[in-house]
Amino acid sequence: MTKRSYQPKDFYFRKAKDEGLRARSAFKIEEIARRFAIFKKGQTVVDLGAAPGGFLQIILNEVGPTGHVTGVDLAAIRPLGRANCVTAVLDVLGADFHAQLEALHPGPVDVVVSDLAPKTTGVKDVDEARSLRLVDVALEVAKRRGRPNGHFIAKLFMGSGFEALRDELKVLFGEVKVVRPEATRGASMEIYLVGLRKRA
């Protein structure tokens, strides 16, 4: 019996193509944003792990021309042709990452979004630990730069460190949600942690 090959052209893949979105994952941030009223016109947003730009497309539509969005990734992001969107190739695990991010867009941020994911090894504990490390970096951005009442969204591989991370978010935010968007692939162990209304 032959193993079924991976079929990328699923419902969300086709829907993304039809709507001119760069990635099927765009529907994940769209669902989260609508469920929790994350974005508003004129907001400043940082998108970590932004390539190829699907999240950026949704966020830019939500914050409008008066908002400002900064997207970074290890991979180059093809320009979106929007004056209020800055992208750069940055290593979030680099020693000078926070200084580089501040140079791209100084000042406070209304929403920090992270779709960062490690290169998977197939070893569950290793992959979960690497995922947690990336969430920690994103959370540090929110701690340093997040405005009071701002929001935080981060992808995470569910694992042994999940409860401690959720407890930390509960201290920092007024409300914490755990979301598995409909567009998530069936075999994926990823979830999203959403921190709402950062405490002053």
Alpha helices in the chain (DSSP H): 11-18, 26-36, 54-63, 97-104, 124-145, 162-172
- Computed over every residue of the chain, the mean pLDDT equals 90
Q: How many domains does the chain have?
A: 1
* Under 8 Å between Cβ of 68 and 107: no
- Residue 2 falls inside a structural domain: no
pLDDT (tens digit per residue) in 24-47: 788 899 999 999 999 999 999 999
Give the active site residue among 15, 17, 40, 155.
Answer: 155
- Residue 4 falls inside a structural domain: no
- Residue 186 falls inside a structural domain: yes
Q: Read off the pLDDT band of 78 (50, 70, 90).
A: very high
The whole-number pLDDT of residue 25 equals 82
The rounded distance, in Å, linking the Cα atoms of 51 and 87 is 9
pLDDT (tens digit per residue) in 43-67: 999 999 999 999 999 999 999 999 9
CATH number at residue 171: 3.40.50.150
Q: Is 3 an active-site residue? A: no
- Residue 5 falls inside a structural domain: no
The distance from CA 144 to its chain's CA centroid, rounded to whole angstroms, is: 17
- Residue 6 falls inside a structural domain: no
